[in-house]
Chains A and B, each alone.
Chain A
Amino acid sequence: MPCTWVMACAYAPSGCAVACGGLDNKCSVYPLSLDKNENLAAKKKSVAMHTNYLSACSFTNSDMQILTSSGDGTCALWDVESGQLLQSFHGHAADVLCLDLAPSETGNTFVSGGCDKKANVWDMRSGQCIQSFETHESDINSVRYYPSGDAFASGSDDATCRLYDLRADREVAIYSKESIIFGVSSVDFSLSGRLLFGGYNDYTINVWDVLKGTRVSILFGHENRVSTLRVSPDGTAFCTGSWDHTLRIWA
């Protein structure tokens, strides 16, 4: 990669390409190949151009479109083949740090969280912000849709995770403890949505019972901040990445 920090990466739904980006302000798509002799760097295609760092990227339901969020305060939808900007989403007052697409195949919405403490839900086709939630007290580092698509959770530097219901249009739960003072870097739900996993900057992972609002367990193992966390698609395990240079799989 031509820049120092890669801040976001995503697999294409077909598994044939990877998109990544960071301080180079761009999102580039690399086609994958099992042929060791192929020079993959030469096949790189620059898709997105922002005026500040790329904080997150995700393919939509197809390999042909990518959604990006950036430190310039906007999110954008790009066509991979032509590199054309299809839609841009303005509304955040500060850097946008994370985004997540709604889970259904017909879903046309996505949620983004930013340094302005707001989580916004957008309509991908019109570019409109349809709902906005501002209850966090600090930057929102991670947002993730609930498996049914009717709610989403967010993790923030204010050391809390919160659950927002989209149809009731409000925050419905806060997952916090007085003893937790470090920010949450990443959140994800288990397959049924009963458990919410949060990776924290105090090197631990807290597991919350989504319905009861209580902590189920705390996991130790990393020797530095947990920076990212994702549950596997089949729900049997989850993986965490950390500043201690390791990726750990928990099952």
Chain B
Amino acid sequence: MTSNSNLSNMRRLVEQLKLEASVERIKVSQAAAELQQFCLQNAGKDALLVGVPTGSNPFREPRSCAVV
């Protein structure tokens, strides 16, 4: 019966929404500050951000080699 299944779908939806509404939330200003802090803390290790010293970069332009 479509009306019965609609009713049970709606009931399930209401249960799900109740669950989601009860989740503990923090303020965006705090969340944003923590994301920012994590970024800045780890920025030093991020090679794509600060670059690697040319000596250790395996993809640098090949320079000439001298045969000894």
A195 to B32, CA, bound (A): 15
> Are A147 and B59 in touch, CB under 8 angstroms?
no
Chain B residues near A194 (CB, 8 Å)?
39, 42-43, 46, 49
Residues of B in contact (CB 8 Å), total 28
Interface pair A151/B46, CB less than 8 Å apart: no
B28 touching A236, Cβ below 8 Å: no
- Pair A193/B42 contact, Cβ less than 8 Å: yes
The residues of B that contact A210 with a CB separation of less than 8 Å are 35, 39
In the bound complex, residues from chain B placing their C-beta under 8 Å from that of A193 are 35, 38-39, 42
Any chain B CB within 8 A of the CB of A1? Answer: no
From B23, B31, B32, B49, A190 is in contact (CB under 8 Å) with B49
Check A182 for interface membership: any CB of B closer than 8 A: no
The main secondary structure of chain B at its interface with chain A is helix
* Interface window among A30-38, A40-48, A129-137: A129-137
Given contacts A146-B35, A150-B31, contact A167 B25 (CB under 8 A): yes
Stretch at the interface among A16-24, A56-64, A70-78, A168-176: A168-176
Task: For B40, list chain A residues within 8 Å (CB).
Answer: 192
> Which residues of B have CB within 8 Å of A147?
38, 42
| The residue from A146, A165, A211, A237 contacting B48, defined by CB atoms under 8 A apart | A237
A98 to B32, CA, bound (A): 25
Contacts of B47 in A (CB 8 A): 191, 234-237, 251
Task: Give B18-61 interface residues, CB cut-off 8 Å to A.
Answer: 19-20, 23, 25-28, 30-32, 34-36, 38-43, 45-49, 52, 57, 59
A192 to B39, CA, bound (A): 5
Query: Which residue, of A129, A169, A238, has the highest number of chain B Cβ atoms within 10 A?
Result: A169
- Contacting B at CB under 8 A, from A172-202, are 172, 190-195
> Could you list 13 further interchain pairs (A-B, Cβ under 8 angstroms) beyond the known A147-B42, A236-B47, A251-B57?
A129-B16, A148-B38, A168-B27, A168-B31, A169-B23, A191-B45, A191-B48, A192-B41, A192-B45, A194-B39, A195-B49, A210-B35, A211-B35
By a beta-carbon cutoff of 8 Å, the part of chain A in contact with chain B is 91, 128-132, 146-148, 150-151, 165, 167-170, 172, 190-195, 210-211, 231, 234-238, 249, 251
